Chain A
Amino acid sequence: MAEVPVEKTLKDVPVGASCVVKKLTGTGAVKRRIMDMGLTKGTRVTVRKVAPLGDPIELTVRGYELSIRKDEAARVEVEDA
Chain B
Amino acid sequence: MAREKLNIALAGNPNCGKTTLFNELTGSNGYVGNWPGVTVEKLEAPLKADPDVVLTDLPGIYSLSPYSPEEVVSRDYLVKTRPDAVIDLVDGTNLERNLYLTTQVLECGTPSVVGLNMADVLAKRGDTIDLSALSARLGVPVVEISALRGTNVDALVDAAVKAGEDGASREPMHWFSSTVEGALDEIADIISPKVADPATLRWFSIKAFERDEEALSALNLSEGEQSAVEAIVSAVEDELDDDSESIITTERYDWIEGVVDECVQKAPAKLSTSEKIDRVITNRILGLPIFAAIMIFVYYVSVSTVGTIGTDWANDGVFGDGWFLSPASAAAYDEAAGAYADEDYPTQLDAFLAAAGDAGLDTSEVLGAIEDGDTAEIEAFAGEAEAAGVVAEDVPWLDADGNYLDTEGNVVLVDANDEPMLAAGQELATHDPITATEFLSAVNAEEPIPGEYGWFVPGVPVVIGEWLESAGASPVVQSLVLDGIVGGVGSILGFVPQMIVLFLLLCFLEDCGYMSRVAFVMDRAFRRFGLSGKSFIPMLISSGCGVPGVMATKTIENERDRRMTIMLTTMIPCGAKLPIISLLMGALIGGIEGWWIAPLFYLLGVACVIISAIMLKKTRPFAGEPAPFVMELPDYHLPALKSYLLHVWERVWAFISKAGTIIFVACVGVWFLSNFGIAGWEGGSGAFGFLPEMADAPANAMDYSVLAGVGSAIAWIFAPLGFDNWQAAASSLSALIAKENLVSTFGVLYGLGEVGEGSTVLWASFAQMFTTAGVVHLGAMFAFVAFNMLDAPCFAAVGTIRRQMDSSRWFWFAIAYECAFGWVVGLIINQLWEFFALGNFGFWTIVALAALVAMLYQLFKPMPKYGESAGEQAPMGEVA
A complexed with B? yes
- The answer to whether B843 has its CB under 8 Å from any CB of chain A is no
| Contact status B629-A56, CB under 8 Å | yes
* Nearest B residue (CB) for A40: B250
Chain B 510-539 near chain A by CB (<8 Å), digits 1 or 0: 000000100111111101000000000000
Q: Which of B60-68, B166-174, B192-200, B781-789 contacts A (4 or more CB under 8 A)?
A: B60-68
- The answer to whether B124 has its CB under 8 Å from any CB of chain A is no
- The answer to whether B633 has its CB under 8 Å from any CB of chain A is yes
Chain B 257-290 near chain A by CB (<8 Å), digits 1 or 0: 0000000000000000000001000111101100
Contacts of B68 in A (CB 8 A): 29
Q: Identify A36's interface contact among B63, B243, B254, B287, CB under 8 A.
A: B63
Contacts of B97 in A (CB 8 A): 37-38, 62-64
Known: A37-B62, A55-B524, A56-B524. A66 touches B632 (CB 8 A): yes
Q: Identify A72's interface contact among B246, B629, B870, CB under 8 A.
A: B629
Chain A 38-54 near chain B by CB (<8 Å), digits 1 or 0: 10111100000111111
| Contact status A29-B870, CB under 8 Å | yes
| Contact status B284-A52, CB under 8 Å | yes
Q: How far is the CB of A75 from chain B (nearest CB, A)?
A: 10
Q: Identify A42's interface contact among B94, B250, B285, B635, CB under 8 A.
A: B250
- The answer to whether B132 has its CB under 8 Å from any CB of chain A is no
Q: Of residues B95, B519, B633, B870, which shows the largest number of chain A Cβ atoms within 10 Å of its Cβ?
A: B633
Contacts of B254 in A (CB 8 A): 40, 42
- The answer to whether A28 has its CB under 8 Å from any CB of chain B is yes
* Nearest A residue (CB) for B64: A36
Q: Of residues A24, A42, A67, A72, which shows the largest number of chain B Cβ atoms within 10 Å of its Cβ?
A: A67
| Contact status B96-A38, CB under 8 Å | yes
* Nearest B residue (CB) for A23: B242
Contact-residue size bin, chain A (C-beta under 8 Å from the other chain): 35 or more
- The answer to whether B695 has its CB under 8 Å from any CB of chain A is no
Contact-residue size bin, chain B (C-beta under 8 Å from the other chain): 35 or more
Contacts of A64 in B (CB 8 A): 94, 97, 632, 634
| Contact status B282-A51, CB under 8 Å | yes
Contacts of A35 in B (CB 8 A): 245-246, 249-250
Known: A40-B250, A53-B524. A67 touches B63 (CB 8 A): no
Contacts of B456 in A (CB 8 A): none
Known: A37-B632, A65-B632, A69-B527. 12 other contacts (CB 8 A): A27-B870, A32-B63, A34-B628, A35-B250, A37-B97, A56-B523, A62-B253, A64-B97, A65-B278, A68-B630, A69-B629, A72-B628
Residues of B within 8 A of A (CB): 62-63, 65, 67-68, 94-97, 100, 242-243, 245-246, 249-250, 253-254, 278, 282-285, 287-288, 516, 519-525, 527, 625, 628-635, 870-873
12 contacts between A and B (CB under 8 A): A30-B630, A32-B65, A33-B65, A33-B67, A42-B250, A49-B284, A51-B521, A56-B523, A58-B520, A65-B634, A67-B631, A68-B631
3 nearest CB pairs, A to B: A36-B63, A52-B287, A53-B524
